[in-house]
Amino acid sequence: MVLGRHTPALPEYAPHILHGIPRADARPALGLDKDLPFFGVDLWHAYEMSWLDGTGKPVVYVGRFTVPASSPCIVESKSFKLYLNSLNNTRFATAEDARSTIVDDISGTAGEGVTLELLSVGDPLLAGTPLPGTCLDQLTIEPSFTEPRPEQLQVKSGQVAEEMLYSHLLRSLCPVTGQPDWATVWLHYRGAALEQHSLLQYIVAYREHREFHEQCVERMFRDLTQRCTPQFMHLQAFYTRRGGMDINPFRSTAADAQPLARLDRQ
């Protein structure tokens, strides 16, 4: 794995640099097995995609990748970035030739088919959108930076709620390098009403927690499910970009639910 190691840019097409991290490495510790309690995707934006057209002229795109949460592996982000940059001096006759090559390589790493949209850098689909719901960040809490725990989440006895809540205060650490990852987290659920102060305190507890983005979101999903027994729940984290890429893990109780668009912050 190249994560945590000094790795120079690769001058030639290098699909071998891609590295998959088995999701099964982390899920058993969360009590998750093959019968997952959620559906979802890992939505990636790659802002530095470039290769050469048939004449040798550079072209640039923004790529939107969708990796199913059911795939056997996470695509490790540093290897993903190095792989995309290895395409910079590679010629493709058409954009579709490039797209199909990239999809094959990433799908092989994830262990399941991924999708890729190639967007122009000025595409309106890349405009950031405000989140629906209530921001929790003005609430007063007593933060604890130990470890996030399900019992930190409190519910209001006998009350059921449907609400959308979000916070910009999520920070977690890379489990390999210890470097911080910053994100906004958004929740839409119907179930036992969450005590909002406790939800914010739980989110802030991730501040020194070492886990990959996708694993953090699945931990949150499990903990929230245990505490508020939702009739439905959608959960998404919008991580800010590193090395020209952002990651947006989305998990839901509904098979047909779709992730939200990117944020201005990203």
How far apart, in whole angstroms, are the C-alpha atoms of residue 248 and residue 263? 10
Query: What pLDDT is stored for residue 5 in this prediction?
Result: 67
Mean of the pLDDT values across residues 239-244? 92
Report residue 35 CA to chain centroid gap: 21
The yes-or-no verdict on residue 263 having pLDDT over 90 is yes
Task: Give tens-digit pLDDT for 84-125.
Answer: 999 999 999 999 999 999 999 999 999 999 999 999 999 999
Quick check: do 15-126 and 134-252 share a fold?
Answer: yes
CATH class of 134-252: alpha beta
How far apart, in Å, are the Cα atoms of 95 and each of 59, 106, 116? 9, 16, 12
Burial zone of 2 (CB within 10 Å; 0-12 exposed, 13-18 middle, 19+ buried) = middle
Task: Give tens-digit pLDDT for 15-51.
Answer: 999 999 999 999 998 998 878 999 999 999 999 999 9
pTM: 0.94
Mean of the pLDDT values across residues 163-171? 97
When mean pLDDT is compared across 68-82, 118-132, 138-152, 153-167, the lowest value belongs to: 138-152
**Structure-model confidence comparison of residues 2 and 46, the more confident one:** 46
Mean of the pLDDT values across residues 159-176? 96
> Catalytic site residue 137?
no
The yes-or-no verdict on residue 235 having pLDDT over 90 is yes
Q: Which of 42, 73, 105, 174 does the annotation list as catalytic?
A: 174
Q: Are 195 and 156 in contact (CB under 8 A)?
A: yes
Q: What is the mean pLDDT of the chain?
A: 94
- Domains of the chain by residue range: 15-126, 134-252
Q: Are 61 and 113 in contact (CB under 8 A)?
A: no
How far apart, in whole angstroms, are the C-alpha atoms of residue 185 and residue 178? 20
Pick the CATH number of 15-126 from 3.40.640.10, 1.10.3660.10, 3.30.1130.10, 3.40.50.300: 3.30.1130.10
Task: Give tens-digit pLDDT for 47-72.
Answer: 999 999 999 999 999 999 999 999 99
Mean of the pLDDT values across residues 66-87? 96
Residue 176 structure tokens: 């390999």
> Catalytic site residue 174?
yes
Q: Which of 181, 223, 228, 246 does the annotation list as catalytic?
A: 181
Which residues have C-beta within 8 Å of that of residue 87, sequence separation ≥ 6? 13, 49, 50, 51, 98, 102
Query: What pLDDT is stored for residue 145 in this prediction?
Result: 64
Q: 4 pLDDT band (50/70/90 cuts)?
A: low
